[in-house]
Structure 1
């Protein structure tokens, strides 16, 4: 089945047209700087790349340009899959778009205002432009929806939890689900207790026992958990009250600081990009070195938390931008887990490949893999399952 996968952000719109059977990607691209001066669409078709500088005042204009571009591609979409960041309390799994399910995406948008509103708008536009095509909502939170109550419930009054739906929702669920599926296939069913390490600009760990999510590091929002590119990760909640009362910072200012001005960027003082931070550390920058130390420390610390949620661990998988590409940070995390018997082979760790691969030593207590993620394929497979 040919599926068009759409991932709408607050000022961007990524797309990919692929075949679920052969896994061939016919075309892909990204509309960037939507609503901002200097907008453009980067498009790739059969390996040929092109850049179109066009005015993109809104997502409606962007999606129209994208459909115009895709009209020149021989293969046509038979269904559309939409990545939705926050499914809230409505989506334990992916769902076909109806008036009701689209309304749910908007209803839970306060939990992810920068993403859900834009995603709902794009879904609406696709339905208007191509009413003959079915659309499917694939929420990032769905994989975590049925984790044990002990993991998702917060120790705050039940009436607050029930009225305002305050709980751990997690994120990166589509990626973690793909990693489990791939690891299970690659290892022939030998993996049972997996910690999936999605490490990128946004980062989270997920404890997966025989395919079921047992816990994850992100919480009500993607701000919780690990140190990330610009997000602080877990801090004492009272930090917000303190900065509001003593520093006179508004809630919006604290929100912006913790989401966009913290993490590796804040600690290193150099960049939110781990490559820049690693380069700075290699050159002797102490702040960069501390940023790397803190990142690996937190991954190691929360890895143990994820393992505890399953009563053990037999497999770990690195994925996403940092997890797939950073030799230094994979080694740094492994060093923090040496007490658990984790050992990776330095030579295997340096190999680059688009295929899943084992990088641990034969005597490692935990099998360590690098698994390139493919959220687009996972979304496309859901579309096929629901519409095919």
Structure 2
């Protein structure tokens, strides 16, 4: 692996994180971007990076591995922006600022959709007219792939090997689950866009597709419907806030909306987790990551209790005090349950070094780590 210092740029739906990693992945510095000029953040870093890695949520069908960014790649990434309107424009904006601040430093795009390139056709196919599927590329893409890929790799390190059947729960402002068989994604809850699946902070998750059509037919504009589904639904639509900590506080005060929202959140989480285990034919490991997955013991306890029929059980004390990577499995459980700290920056850096040291910039292939 080349001795490169990598600046990773990770725009999320509600955050922007920049991390400078040394050649051995030592974290030299980390900074949150909102409210700060990226150029100013870079000037405060202890060293100039040798390469840049930028997280992009959507790579479509063209980009299933990391790829060095040039004008043609940038143009195609702009074309994909409407499929991930909370993320793709933010990544493109960050890329523009980074390239202005660091001209001449090579930049590599890493994609959340890439980990799901291994989805079998049965899991990826929507039952829509063939002409639509072929013309518009309508299929399940899946997201949070950088987080899933790192969680799988880290779980293998913690347990001494990859569990044959894993369900990884990335729970944060955006949330999705992934069924992982022998290290490869075989099913996931997000689909063509990041709107499908779980109830999220501001996104509705799966709803009857007839609802948006009905709303548009009754006078709402497509733009208003899309904005509401992306930014004003989910926990925010149910309670007025997408902050799980605030909702927990309200629930403790017996707020009716907060209690109902938690019930709906957990109902969907339980159902989707069970669906992922069905795709795997069982469960050997359950892994929590992401802001809520790492920091909310109540979410972890409730889901493992809901899945107890599969053999999940966690130690209450280890669950309550989990800080960083933690094996919470109770002595009588047949399924291992872990918390893994999300480190998408490490996964991005791995992809950047691979592309820049091997010279493979095709953007093809399947099952990339980045």
TM-score, with length taken from structure 2: 0.90
Counterpart position of 2:339: 370
What's the secondary structure of 1:369's corresponding residue?
A: strand
Decide which of 214, 218, 226 is 1:242's aligned counterpart.
214
Residue pair 2:13, 2:173 contacting (<8 A) in 1 also: no
1:57 is aligned to none
Aligned to 1:24: 26
- The offset of 1:350, in angstroms, is 0.9
Aligned partner of 2:276 in structure 1 is 306
Counterpart in the other structure of 1:55:
none
1:80 alignment counterpart: 52
Cα distance in 2 for residues equivalent to 1:255 and 1:86: 18
In angstroms, what is the RMSD of aligned CA positions?
Answer: 1.9
Structure 2: which 5+ residue stretches go unaligned? 358-370
Is 2:232 aligned against 1:261?
Answer: yes
Query: Structure 1 190/127 Cα, relative in aligned 2: closer, same or farther at 3 Å?
Result: closer
**What is the CA distance between 1:87 and its match in structure 2?**
0.7
1:359 equivalenced with 2:328 (yes/no)? yes
**Residue 2 in structure 1 maps to residue 5 in structure 2:** yes
Whole-Å Cα distance in 2 between the matches of residues 299 and 211 of structure 1? 22
Output the CA distance in 2 between the equivalents of 1:100 and 1:85: 18
CA contact (8 A) 2:156 2:162 kept: yes
Distance 1:202 1:293, change over 3 A: same
Matched, 1:208 2:208: no
Structure 2 CA distance for partners of 1:120 and 1:284, relative to 1, 3 Å: closer
In the TM superposition, residue 31 of structure 1 has moved relative to its aligned partner by 2.9
Of the two structures, which has the highest relative contact order with CA contacts closer than 8 Å and spacing of 6 or more? 2
Matched, 1:217 2:192: no
User: 2:43 is matched with which residue?
Assistant: 68
Q: Could you tell me which residue of structure 2 aligns to residue 321 of structure 1?
A: 291
1:200, 1:322 within 8 Å by CA — same for their partners in 2?
yes
| Partners of 1:171 and 1:145 in 2: CA distance | 11
- 1:349 maps to 319
Q: Tell me, in whole angstroms, the C-alpha distance in 1 between the residues paired with 2:82 and 2:260.
A: 35
| Equivalenced residues, count | 354
Matches within 5 A, 1:43-62: 62=37
Deviates more, 1:289-298 or 1:2-11: 2-11
Structure 1: 5+ residue stretches without partners: 33-39, 42-61
- TM-score, normalised on structure 1? 0.86
1:336 counterpart = 2:338:
no
Q: What SS class does the counterpart of residue 133 from structure 1 fall into?
A: coil
- How far apart are residue 219 of structure 1 and its match? 0.8
